[in-house]
Chains A and B, each alone.
Chain A
C-alpha cells in the first residue's frame, strides 16, 4: 500500500519535472548551435551589421534587419490592439451591463482561437488589396497589413487581461469617484485605469511578446526581404519568417546557414523571455496593492 503510493507520487513528480527538462532542452539547443555559429561569425558583426544575407553568395550576418522587421510588425499590431482592446475593457467594465458582457466576451475570444495561418490568408488576400486602394505605393507584401491583422488577433488578449485588472480594482474607489460627481468617463480614466495600470501594463507586455513570436501571419503577408527600415509599406522579414524560410529550403544540417536559424532563434527567445519576466515581475510587485 505504502509502496504503491510512493511510486505513484514519484511518477507524478516525474511528469512535472519534464517541464524543467523542456526548458533545459530549449536553452541547450539554442545555446549549443548558436555557439557553433558565433565561432564563425563575430558577435559584433551579428549585432551591428546592417545586412542579413546568409543565403546569398556574399554572406552578411547582421541581425538588425530581422529585428527591425519584427519591431515594425509588432509596433503596428500594438497600435491597433491597444486602443481597441483597452476601450473594450473599459466599456465592458464601466458601461455595459452584465448580460451584454456575458455574450460579448466569448465572442471576442473566438478571435484568439482562429489559426494564425488563416489570419495570414486574410492579410494577404483581403486586407492588402483593400489597403492598396487607399495607399497606391503599397507593395503586395508589407508590414502594415500583416501588423494590422496581427493587431486584430491580439485584441482579446489585451481586452480580457485588462478587464480582469480593472474589475479587480476595489468597488469603493469607483463609488468614491461617482460620489464626487464624476462621469463614467472621468471615473474610468481618472480612477480605474490608473488604479489598474500595472495589470494593463502586464497585458500589453504579454501582447508584445505574443506579437514578437508570431510566425505565420508575417511569413505569409509581410514578405521575405530582410531590410533595415521602419517603412511599413515595403516587404520586410521578421526573425520568425526567416526561420520558416530556411526550414522550407534545402539547407544541409550542420552548415553555417543551418545554424543561422538558431542564432535567430536565440535572439527571439531572449526578447520574449525578457518581456515575459518583466510582466511576472510587475505582476508580483504590484498585485496586492489594494488588498
Chain B
C-alpha cells in the first residue's frame, strides 16, 4: 500500500465518521422522542388536560400549568415585542455610529450570554421584592421578557439590515421623514424576519423553568390564574416537579406533560420556519 492509498483510506474513514457524527445527535433525538411518546402518549386525554394538580398521580392534570404557560407566553410577547423591536430600530436606524450605540451593542451581546438563572435572581430582587409583585404572572413575564430581549433586538437588527439602502433613499427622495420611512417602508419590508425572531425567542421562553423557579413560581397552584397578579405555574415547572417524585406514575405524567410542551415548542418553531420561508420567497430585492 502506497502512502497516497493510505491517505485516501484515512479520508474515506473520516467521511464515514462524519456521517456517523452527523446522525448520532439525530438518532439520540429520535430515541428520546420515541421513548417520550411510548411513556406518555397513553396518559394524554381530556381529563389530563383539564384536571387540577393532585397528590394522586392518576387524578393529576396539567390544566393550571398550560393555562399558566399561555398567560406567560402572551404577556411576555406584549412586553418584549414592542421593547425589543423599538431598541432594534434605534440601534440600526438612528444611533448607528454613536459611542452610545457601540456601548449598547457590547452590552446586549453580554446580556445574551448571561445564564437564565441569573435573570431569575434579578427578577426576584427587582420585580418580586422591590416592586412587590410577588410570585405573580406579571413578575414572571417581566423576568422572561428581559431574558429574551437580547434575542429579539439582535434578530430585529438583522431583519432591518437586510432591507436595501435604495428603499430608504427612495422614501427620503419623496419627502418622507425618518420615522415615516421606518414605519411605512423599513418595518413592513423586514416584518417577516422580525416576526420569525420573536417567535423563536418566545419558544425559548416557553421552555424556561429555572428563572421562574427562582422568582417563586410554585409547583402546586390549586387554581388556574385569572389575572396578571395571580400566582402561577408553567409546564416546565410542573414537569420538573413530577420528575422529582419517586413514584413511576408521576414519571408517566411528566412524559405526557413533556409531549404537550414539545408540541407547543414545535408549533412555535414551525410557524417561525414557515414565516422565514414565505418571506424569503416573496421578497426579492
Contacts and interface: CB of A to CB of B under 8 A. Distances in A.
A90 B108 contact: no
A9 B94 contact: yes
Interface in A108-153: 108, 110-111, 113-118, 120-122, 124-126, 152
B112 to A, nearest CB: 8
Contacts of A118: 32, 36, 207, 239, 258, 261-262
A247 B124 CA distance: 10
Interface stretch (B4-12, B45-53, B164-172, B188-196): B4-12
Interface in B231-280: 236, 239-240, 243-244, 251, 254-255, 258, 261-262, 265-266, 269, 273
Contact of B117 (A120, A220, A243, A280): A243
Interface residues of A, number: 83
A180 interface: no
A111 B18 contact: no
Contacts of B24: 84
B223 to A, nearest CB: 21
B7 A183 contact: yes
Contact of B203 (A113, A126, A280): A113
A280 B112 CA distance: 12
B74 interface: no
A286 interface: no
A275 B179 CA distance: 39
Contact of B210 (A9, A122, A124, A240): A240
A25 interface: yes
Interface in A77-108: 83-84, 87-88, 90-92, 95-96, 104, 106-108
- Please classify how large the interface on chain B is, using the bins under 10, 10 to 19, 20 to 34, 35 or more: 35 or more
Contact of A243 (B15, B22, B214): B214
Contact of A215 (B103, B117, B177): B117
Contact of A12 (B90, B113, B149): B90
Nearest to A189: B14
A222 interface: no
A200 interface: no
B258 A23 contact: no
Interface string A155-168: 11000000000000
B86 A11 contact: yes
Q: Is the interface of B mostly helix, strand, loop or mixed?
A: helix
B261 A115 contact: yes
Given A29-B121, A91-B15, A247-B213, A185 B91 contact: no
A203 to B, nearest CB: 13
Nearest to A109: B269
B240 A268 contact: no
A215 B116 contact: yes
The dominant DSSP class at the A interface is: helix
Interface stretch (A43-51, A58-66, A170-178, A205-213): A205-213
Interface string A1-17: 10011001101110111
A19 B239 contact: no
Given A33-B125, A115-B207, A118-B258, A88 B239 contact: no
A126 B31 contact: yes
A77 B153 CA distance: 29
B221 interface: no
A22 B149 contact: yes
Contacts of B178: 5, 9
A152 B87 contact: no
24 contacts: A4-B179, A11-B86, A15-B84, A15-B90, A19-B104, A26-B121, A33-B125, A88-B21, A104-B22, A108-B22, A111-B25, A114-B265, A115-B209, A183-B10, A186-B11, A209-B113, A215-B117, A215-B210, A216-B209, A244-B210, A248-B213, A268-B117, A273-B110, A276-B109
Interface of A: 1, 4-5, 8-9, 11-13, 15-20, 22-23, 25-26, 29-30, 33, 83-84, 87-88, 90-92, 95-96, 104, 106-108, 110-111, 113-118, 120-122, 124-126, 152, 155-156, 181, 183-186, 188, 206, 209, 212-216, 219-220, 240, 243-244, 247-248, 253, 261-262, 265, 268-269, 272-273, 275-277, 280
Closest 4 CB pairs of A and B: A213-B115, A115-B207, A91-B18, A15-B86
Interface of B: 4, 7-8, 10-11, 14-15, 17-19, 21-22, 24-26, 28-29, 31-32, 35-36, 39, 82-84, 86-87, 89-91, 94-95, 103-104, 106-111, 113-122, 125-126, 129, 146, 149-150, 153, 177-179, 200, 203-204, 206-210, 213-214, 216, 219, 236, 239-240, 243-244, 251, 254-255, 258, 261-262, 265-266, 269, 273
Given A117-B236, A126-B35, A215-B117, 13 more contacts: A8-B179, A19-B108, A22-B122, A30-B121, A88-B22, A91-B18, A117-B243, A121-B254, A122-B35, A126-B32, A220-B244, A243-B214, A280-B106
